[in-house]
Amino acid sequence: MTTGKSRWFRAAVSGQSMAPTLNHGDYVMVRRGGTVRPGQVVLAEFELKPDFIVIKRVVSVDDNGLWLVGDNSAQSDASEKYGYAAPLGVVFARYWPHPRKL
């Protein structure tokens, strides 16, 4: 992941928790800031495991943070295991290997 101070940064997908939407080895563009809404895919970190940075889908947003799930529940550790998460940015598009907006 390359973050720096830019509003936009890139991240690599590791694992199959977001398949078929995103696959291991995909690269995505992430936008820092803005409003996070249910249904969006985000880069986030769990409050209970802050070194665990994930790309997951937002189920709900409330005062506690984001409740997240993976699109591939058989391969995903998300909010059901780690609780609420804090957003690092919204995944806007996959740019490699097959570019498309999310």
Residue 77 pLDDT grade (very low, low, confident, very high; cuts 50, 70, 90): confident
Task: Give the pair of three-digit tokens for residue 63.
Answer: 């005062």
Task: Give the pair of three-digit tokens for residue 93.
Answer: 């598009």
pLDDT tens column, 20-61: 999 999 999 999 988 999 999 999 999 899 888 999 999 999
CA angle, residues 58, 34, 77, in degrees to nearest 5:
25
Residues 43, 29 contacting (CB under 8 angstroms): no
Mean pLDDT for all residues in the chain: 91
